[in-house]
Homo-oligomer: A and B are copies of this chain.
Amino acid sequence: MEVDGTLLTILGVAAGILILSGWVEQIYKGYKTKRLKDVSKFLMIFIASGSILWLIYGVIVEDVFIIGTNASGIALMMIVLVMKKIYDKRLRS
C-alpha cells in the first residue's frame, strides 16, 4: 500500500494526544479525589513495561510517533503510580 505521510502524521499525533489525555485525566481525577485505590498498580506497571518495549520498537523502526507517545506515556504512568502510592498510604493511616 502506498503510504500517505501526512495522513500518518495526523493519525500518529492525534492518537498520541488522545492516549496521553487519558492519563492526564486520570492524574487530574486522582489529584481531585485524593484516591487511586481502585486503580490497579499493575495497570501502570504492565503498560509502562510494554511501552518501554514499544519505545525500543519505535527506535528500531525509526517511528517518531511510537517513540513520542510511549516516552510521554511512561512518564505519565509513573506519576499515577507515585500518586497512588502516596494516596493509598494515607488511606491506610
Contacts and interface: CB of A to CB of B under 8 A. Distances in A.
Interface of A: 1, 3-4, 7-8, 11-12, 14-19, 21-23, 25-26, 28-30, 33, 35-40, 42-47, 49-51, 53-54, 56-57, 60-62, 65
15 contacts: A8-B57, A11-B57, A14-B53, A15-B53, A16-B50, A18-B47, A19-B50, A19-B54, A21-B46, A21-B50, A22-B42, A22-B43, A22-B44, A26-B40, A57-B65
Given A11-B53, A53-B15, A57-B12, A46 B22 contact: yes
Contacts of A28: 40
B60 A43 contact: no
